[in-house]
């Protein structure tokens, strides 16, 4: 479902079919940096998975050219550490799952758009509530 940042008339649903819940406000995550893992047509990465960072995942994603642990002041990006929640690209999460380093996820904060790429059954294996 495509939506713009200011489209308040459309309430995205999570993978469980209920209202999407906030993932994290500290650090402020989401494609729109509003705390929600929701996507839009402008979001080429489809940042819909609310994931709980682990050192293993952070090391793996850094080795693949996506360093999420280093602060980037120009983008107001604090750098992530284990225990932080962050909206990940669904394809990056699936890549990590295949590599055996996928972080746990919050299903209530993971956009239903994730189901275009994978099954609820797979996501449930990594659920943390």
The residue written with tokens 């890549």 in the block is 95
The two structure tokens encoding residue 94: 């699936």
Q: For the chain, what is the mean pLDDT?
A: 91
CA–CA gap between residue 41 and residue 78 (Å, rounded): 25
CA–CA gap between residue 117 and residue 88 (Å, rounded): 13
pLDDT at 114: 97
Task: Assign domain 11-129 to a CATH class.
Answer: alpha beta
Q: What is the pLDDT of residues 31-80, one digit of tens each?
A: 999 999 999 888 888 999 999 999 999 999 999 999 999 999 888 788 99
pTM for the full predicted model? 0.89
3-class SS of residue 93: helix
Listed residue (122, 109, 129, 125) closest to 15, CA to CA: 109
Listed residue (84, 90, 82) closest to 31, CA to CA: 90
């Amino acid at each position: 479902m495509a939506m713009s940042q200011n489209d308040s008339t459309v309430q995205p649903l999570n993978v469980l079919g209920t209202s999407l819940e906030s993932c994290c406000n500290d650090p402020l995550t989401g494609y729109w940096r509003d705390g929600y893992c929701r996507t839009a047509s402008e979001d080429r990465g489809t940042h819909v998975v609310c994931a709980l960072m682990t050192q293993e995942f952070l090391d793996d994603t850094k080795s693949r050219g996506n360093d999420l642990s280093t602060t980037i002041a120009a983008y107001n990006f604090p750098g992530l550490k284990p225990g932080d929640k962050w909206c990940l690209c669904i394809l990056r999460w699936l890549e990590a799952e295949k590599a055996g380093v996928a972080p746990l996820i919050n299903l209530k904060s993971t956009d239903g758009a994730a189901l275009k790429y994978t099954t609820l059954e797979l996501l449930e294996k990594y659920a943390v509530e």
